[in-house]
Chains A and B, each alone.
Chain A
């Protein structure tokens, strides 16, 4: 994957930044594996309706006679339930594909929104300074001194339950991480010569912030965002498991696990176990990608 390392400086400079990062990224087989796994999971999630053996939420397709079958059991209609069925006779494999879809969608949606808010707040704090900076950073400090689960529970207790409210809670938790990261990066970049040069050219503040400052703040932000997607998915699963997350009509992986909890004690492990494995693979693959991105995008480690 990587270019020949011999005349490093010249050839590396000639490469586009994206290709250089991609080359460094895939040099680590573990990270490449994580990336491949993540892509597979995303494909499963996006194409869930096409690849699932059944639509687990179409009552015409599920049969109560098939309920709580162990993995590998044959269904009444001739197919095989590779991962067993739940208490309603749903194929667990299909339920996991659909659950993955919802979990990833909630994680991605909350990350994008939080990123936008955090980016705006962090850039404003760094560029404007003064009172704006004090207020924003004080809120960030106070918020980050409380654990995410506690803030999420406060918000859910206050706002009530529902998909939009879960996303709102996740956004409220996450924006602070982005704001802090962006401000830190922007403060460093702001003092560099190219920003001074842009000021001397009398470019508009908006142009300086968005065309010059923002792109240079992106590397640390990408790393934080990757970690935070995993954290958001885990938190949503936890909330759903506690019965305070997504509604029963949108069963994410956490809700599937919660659903199997009562059957776990009677030895029917698969209803909780396999959604948990799916959740675990998702979080681990994202964390592997994030770990490698941190090394690749860190200028101090760059050869």
Chain B
């Protein structure tokens, strides 16, 4: 087990290095940073001085080493637009994204597991079929367009909910959050629902498939033969056994919720990391792009590692050493 964790941890470090190399080469070498970082009005001497100051006259590998060294100390450069450290900019925006992602995941879990269980127990009933049809829609509908339609119905037509922003935030433990005020809730509910839809559909399908499979197992038949109540059979024997894959997927999908928040944040003008990334790409604010990518890759690697380790701890049958094709 500990050997596995160490090996898996080393593997994560390798991936992080590879990603940093790709991002560095992509952003700093393919695009010419000199044109962007240096005032085009500058004369030749000024230009050379600036190039030397930025270390751009050194060979590429040396630049990468410098980049890595400063990255290791948390310095990923200054934003051209905001002239603050890029990393601080990202970290400031992180709570908004995390709040949105957690709210979305909660919606998906709270609705998705019961709906999937219902559809799995009644696969041929109208209600079961309707839930499945709804989940197919959830897969097919492009997130950004659903967001627009939510705004159209609830903000423009009905006027119930605000269409953009985060509303007033309340500070708790030094972090600004929306969910502690009613106005914050009104701002949060639509983007969170929008972001949740895809994961909701996924969880419904996963829970339904798991339930149908579990119902055919001998231990469920045995529990029924023992005369246990229906609630107990489903609540304890079925649900417990299907929770292992569901917990894994929830963990793995949390990273993708953070990534997909880019789209939702853009639609609802939610001031999170994703909106910052899109703005930075449009403004060619390269240090912020690099910082965002490295931060999100690190989050991803951490989540994948945690889920893998957790999975092997939860389910002793899993031998994770082999990679499945």
Binding site for B on A (CB under 8 A): 137-138, 141-142, 145-147, 149-150, 153-154, 156-160, 180, 183-184, 187, 230, 234, 237-238, 241-244, 254, 257, 261, 264-267, 269, 272-273, 276, 279-280, 283-284, 287, 291
Contacts and interface: CB of A to CB of B under 8 A. Distances in A.
A228 to B, nearest CB: 13
Contacts of A137: 323, 325
A269 to B, nearest CB: 5
A145 B259 contact: no
Contact of A287 (B31, B140, B262, B282): B140
B160 to A, nearest CB: 15
B140 A284 contact: yes
B80 interface: no
**B interface residue count range (under 10 / 10 to 19 / 20 to 34 / 35 or more):** 35 or more
What does DSSP make chain A's interface, helix, strand, loop or mixed? helix
Contacts of A187: 325
A266 B155 CA distance: 10
A279 B145 contact: yes
16 contacts: A142-B18, A149-B259, A149-B260, A150-B296, A154-B293, A157-B27, A237-B142, A241-B145, A242-B262, A244-B281, A264-B152, A265-B163, A272-B148, A272-B152, A280-B141, A284-B137
A128 B256 CA distance: 34
A212 B22 CA distance: 38
B322 to A, nearest CB: 11
Contacts of A244: 278, 281-282
Given A149-B260, A238-B263, A273 B282 contact: no
Contact of B323 (A138, A146, A257, A287): A138
Interface in B1-28: 15, 18, 22-23, 26-27
B144 to A, nearest CB: 5
B293 A264 contact: no
A-B pairs with lowest CB-CB distance, top 5: A158-B26, A147-B256, A150-B259, A276-B145, A147-B259
Contacts of B23: 154, 158
B266 A242 contact: yes
Interface in B132-157: 136-137, 139-145, 148-149, 151-152, 155-156
A244 B26 CA distance: 17
A141 B156 contact: no
Nearest to B145: A276
B11 to A, nearest CB: 9
Contacts of A141: 323
